[in-house]
Amino acid sequence: MSDKKSKKVIPVSVRILDKEYMVSCPSGEQNSLLSSARQIDEKMRDIRKSGKVIGSERIAVVTALNLAHELNTASGQMKVIDKEIVSRMDELQQKIDATLDRIKEQEEE
């Protein structure tokens, strides 16, 4: 992302659980903000529909906890995937090095 100071900030209106909020947003990132607001609105509505959580504030907290959990889970999965990729790359590098060594040996004969 470019320097935050160089980005113009604009107000964007988002609607979550039938309430409108004005949010400052870096220019060019409105679609991402609106998409995030829609996602939050959907999750909050799902929680409200379940009837297990009552009150907008509690619904917001449960939604935030659920989203944080999803983020942490995805982050953990990415770390595992990153380790697997590094391991596979090391294996491929070893195979390449071994093949190059064999080619050099054949050329020297």
The predicted pLDDT at position 108 comes to: 82
| 19/21 Cα distance (integer angstroms) | 7
| 19/40 Cα distance (integer angstroms) | 12
| 81/79 Cα distance (integer angstroms) | 5
Residue spans of the domains in the chain: they are: 4-108
Note the pLDDT tens digit of each residue in 61-70: 999 999 999 9
Is it the case that residue 107 has pLDDT exceeding 90?
Answer: no
**pTM flag (> 0.75):** no
Topology adopted by domain 4-108 = Double Stranded RNA Binding Domain (3.30.160)
Is it the case that residue 50 has pLDDT exceeding 90?
Answer: yes
Note the pLDDT tens digit of each residue in 56-92: 999 999 999 999 999 999 999 999 999 999 999 999 9
Is-contact 65 58, C-beta < 8 A? no
Give the 3-state secondary structure of residue 14: strand
